[in-house]
Structure 1
Amino acid sequence: MEQTVGSPSKKRRTRTKVDRIGGLPDSLLLHILSFLPAKEAVATSLISRRWRPLWLSLPSLDLNLEGFQSLPFFHRFVDKMLKLVDLKSVKKFVLEIHSSNFKPRDCFRPLKISKWINAMISNKVEHLELQLILFYGEFELPPSVFITNNIRVLKLSGVTVGTLSHVHLPLLEVLHLRSVRFPEFQSLKMLLSASASLKELVLKFWFSVHDYNPLNIGRLDHLVSADVPQSLFPSAAFSNVTFLRLDQHYCTQGIWPLSDDIPMFYNCTHLECVAGSWKPF
């Protein structure tokens, strides 16, 4: 009986590469992309045909000057992106511009920034976050920011809020104001008084006790958390909160008055009082 010389060739096992991430539904992929800065989210279009159109429907746009070679290049990138992206799908818009990232020849263009903000508001953005760390208060917000039916979260840093004639923010639940300039404190009073649904409030900016009288904004009934300067408002405004932080550092001639009108904080479970000096009388 004749034997076969050698052993039969073994079949090579080939492992089929499965793109498990690419196989996910668009809604989940867009959720993943929403955690990336806009520049990186756009770069995913180079991965494959599957990824190419996704960034056009991003639910979140995070635009940061850091990482761009110049401010004019950043301007062009944002202009192009806002023309191509379906703005109606964008629920969160974050814009960060720090003057430390400028080059000497760069020119800040506030009208262009206002155009971007207005475009987002007109397309019903719900979360608006602006960190414009320039020369203090160099950029004044367009009034449209304070007249919108859709914004739920508003976080502002390094901007100026001019004279407000009208405020309409029926859905606003979270308001953070850091290093924000108010030439007229009545605008701040109007903003808070008109935010009937407010649940979380953070105020961190410098002011002088000689420049204002304590702002009577009534009681913020829905407020759950407040981190505010200690002498800017009557304590009764925050009597419903569970978290309260009172900070004296932001008052340039600060005192910490103790008065008989301190309300009962029936719901408060966390209280912080931050003071450089304590003067009860």
Structure 2
Amino acid sequence: MSRLIDIISALPDALLHHILFFLPTKEAAATMTLSKRWKPLLSIINLDDQHFPDPSAFREMFNSFTTNRDKTLPIHSFQLICRGHNHYCIDDIPNFVNAVVQRNVENLSIDLSNSLFPTFVLTTKFLSVLKLKKLLLDDFRSVDLPSLKFLCLESVTFTHHSYLIKILSACPVLEELETKDLTVKKIYGLHRYCPDTYVTWLSKLARANISGRHVFYDCLNNAEHLQLHVVFPYGLHNMFHNLTYIELALDLLPRRGFFKWNWLMKLLPKSPKLQTLIIHEVDIVNNFADKEWVSIPKIVPECLLYHLTTCSIRNYSRINWELPFAKYIMGNSRVLSTMTIQIAKSVKSDTKIQMCKELSLCPRNSATCKLLFI
């Protein structure tokens, strides 16, 4: 056993931190008995109140690892999950969060099961990573996150759309953004040029994964890597000069499905360096095609002439104008190496054979283009 302990203790700090991150705080604290070498490593705190019978027990455990801990020991990462089955005092959650903020925590993850969020976090100057889940953002005025590089918002409710804009505009060095299932109770003047809906330039943004509405795509135009779950075809006004990879889940309502392919054809000329294009048709029953495909560029987009090497159409069914689009891509892409078609599972076998024949007969501009069916 002593030999095993020596081997574990010899691991690099970064690896030990990674192991401790996935342990509840009680188990992580127990590792301190293994060696004095482990004591400074408890800079990662992962607290979930489902492991505690009542708020007082949770409060006691929290204080033992934050308020009452050696003040020379930093707290680099803090994860707080309050599932709502415990009834906390009004000051409990703000006190929990404030205790780690005062220690200059850099990585903060908070899941409050739709409770009100302590907004003073939004002026924390040392935060590098912020993950917010299942909480309500209301009534805050000041936002200043000068060091934030990664922001994740999941199932977050904003009372006003302008609050979301304020947060995004207060992250000057943001490199990665993820949003999913956002709710906005009050949307006023939802237009790109309205002051309350315009996001200040995200000049450092490299990656974004955006699901649903409320984040305008134009503010992502510096990104190199985009994943978009498109439910609303927002206008595209800016150029995406750095974009090399985009993955689109097209999930438009029937009344907006008519704009789908025309919207996509507007995106291609604005992405001159695009190398990889992945399209996933979410709804192959109700998402009707454009009545007339009128937005085919008279000039072939630069990305098709010089950069696009990989294109994939998933959940292909042919009824939503995927065939004309696939023909356009293969017929105009000079350096395309792979065109992958994933036919929808609902398509019958004999129809699949016919689809494969249709696509196989499409002319290809690139002599090295391989057509793959999966």
TM-score, normalised with respect to structure 2: 0.58
Task: Please report how far the alpha carbon of residue 193 of structure 1 lies from its aligned counterpart in structure 2 after TM superposition.
Answer: 0.8
Report the CA distance shift for 1:143/1:24 in structure 2 as closer, same or farther (over 3 A): same
* Contact 2:122 2:145 (8 Å CA) reproduced: yes
- Further displaced range: 176-185 or 35-44: 35-44
- 2:244 alignment partner in structure 1: 268
Report the CA distance shift for 1:150/1:266 in structure 2 as closer, same or farther (over 3 A): closer
RMSD of aligned residue pairs (Cα, Å): 3.0
- Further displaced range: 59-68 or 266-275: 266-275
Aligned partner letter, 2:126: N
**Residue 60 (str. 1) matches residue 44 (str. 2):** yes
Q: Secondary structure at the match of 1:183?
A: strand
Quick one: distance in 1 between partners of 2:74 and 2:119?
23
Report the CA distance shift for 1:279/1:119 in structure 2 as closer, same or farther (over 3 A): farther
Bigger proportion of residues as strand: 2
- 2:29 alignment partner in structure 1: 42
Q: Secondary structure at the match of 1:118?
A: helix
* 1:231-271 deviation digits (Å, cap 9, x = unpaired): 5344321111122222245xxxxx435x4625345423123
Report the CA distance shift for 1:111/1:229 in structure 2 as closer, same or farther (over 3 A): same
* Contact 2:112 2:135 (8 Å CA) reproduced: yes
Q: Which structure carries more relative contact order (alpha carbon 8 Å, separation 6+)?
A: 1
Quick one: distance in 2 between partners of 1:178 and 1:17?
44
**Number of equivalent positions:** 248
Aligned partner letter, 1:95: L
* Contact 1:93 1:125 (8 Å CA) reproduced: yes
Quick one: distance in 1 between partners of 2:164 and 2:212?
15
Report the CA distance shift for 1:233/1:95 in structure 2 as closer, same or farther (over 3 A): closer
Task: Please report how far the alpha carbon of residue 54 of structure 1 lies from its aligned counterpart in structure 2 after TM superposition.
Answer: 4.2
Quick one: distance in 2 between partners of 1:201 and 1:233?
11
* Contact 1:179 1:205 (8 Å CA) reproduced: yes
1:132 to 95, 108, 112: 112
* Contact 1:96 1:130 (8 Å CA) reproduced: yes
**Residue 96 (str. 1) matches residue 72 (str. 2):** no
- 2:233 alignment partner in structure 1: 256
Q: Which consecutive unaligned segments of at least 5 residues does structure 2 have?
A: 192-196, 260-289, 291-374
1:239 to 210, 218, 221: 221
- 2:134 alignment partner in structure 1: 158
Aligned partner letter, 1:245: Q
Runs of 4+ in 1 over 4 A off after TM superposition: 25-30, 53-57
Aligned partner letter, 1:78: F
* Contact 2:159 2:185 (8 Å CA) reproduced: no
Quick one: distance in 1 between partners of 2:151 and 2:173?
11
Q: Which consecutive unaligned segments of at least 5 residues does structure 1 have?
A: 1-15, 250-254
Q: Give me the identity figure in percent.
A: 24
* Contact 1:141 1:160 (8 Å CA) reproduced: yes
Report the CA distance shift for 1:268/1:216 in structure 2 as closer, same or farther (over 3 A): farther
Task: Please report how far the alpha carbon of residue 82 of structure 1 lies from its aligned counterpart in structure 2 after TM superposition.
Answer: 1.8
Quick one: distance in 1 between partners of 2:98 and 2:39?
21
Report the CA distance shift for 1:208/1:148 in structure 2 as closer, same or farther (over 3 A): closer
